[in-house]
Amino acid sequence: MLTLSGCSDDSNKKVDDWAKTFCNTAQPQFKKITDANAAIQAQTRDDSKPADVQKTDSAAFQQISDAYKALGAAVDKAGAPPVKDGATTQQEAVKELNASSVSYANLKKKVDALNAGDQAAFAKGLEDIATELGKISSTGDASLKKLESGDIGKAMQKQPGCQKQTPSSPAPSASGAGAPAASPSGSASPSGSASGTPKS
């Protein structure tokens, strides 16, 4: 029994070490995603000007894109989780996180291409982007779900770096707006705030 207990403790330590390595590296990226979402939420007011919405959304999508790319690198650097099928889980997570990064970069391009001088066209463009944002959010969520399962997930929940982050400067209009938690389970869920209809 002592031998079995020792093996179990050693296995748990390896899992905890992996979670600590990943979460410490990932924490700044989860924070960036939370801050970007708070910025987007702050521009959903009815009195937001198209040019301001465009500038904010563009910067936020770029920030989220960079964060996902960095998260993919963090998973890659941490190595395969010391659990069953860990290598496969790692490879899939890296692939999906990188794909999410590309998707947000494409959203930035679409926002940049909108004509802020045409109120009706701009509002329609934001609606289309919001629809696409919802789809990307679902994909992004799935990219870290497997990492959160089982012993790895439990270990990650203990790490401060993988716990909920708060925006650096939350805007009053963003309160209660559904800004995602910057933990693996929520970090990939930017709300469809681009659907707000700004006024010129």
pLDDT band per the 50, 70, 90 thresholds, residue 193: very low
Taking the complete model, does pTM exceed 0.85, yes or no? no
Report pLDDT digits (tens) over 128-181: 999 998 888 777 667 677 788 888 999 999 999 998 878 875 443 333 333 333
Model pLDDT for residues 51-101, shown as the tens digit of each residue: 999 999 999 999 999 999 999 999 999 999 999 899 999 999 999 999 999
Sorted by where each begins, the domain ranges of the chain are 19-38+48-165+178-187
Q: What is the pLDDT of residue 145?
A: 79
113 CB neighbour count, 10 Å cutoff? 10
CA distances from 116 to 31, 40, 136 (A): 29, 16, 24
The total of other beta-carbon atoms located within 10 Å of residue 47's CB is 7
User: For 43-113, where are the alpha helices, taking DSSP H only?
Assistant: 50-78, 86-113
pLDDT-derived band at 195, boundaries 50, 70, 90: very low
Cα–Cα distance between 158 and 99 in angstroms, integer?
A: 28
CA-CA distance, 173 to 152, in Å (whole number)? 36
What phi and psi, each to the nearest 5 degrees, are found at residue 191? Answer: -75, 160
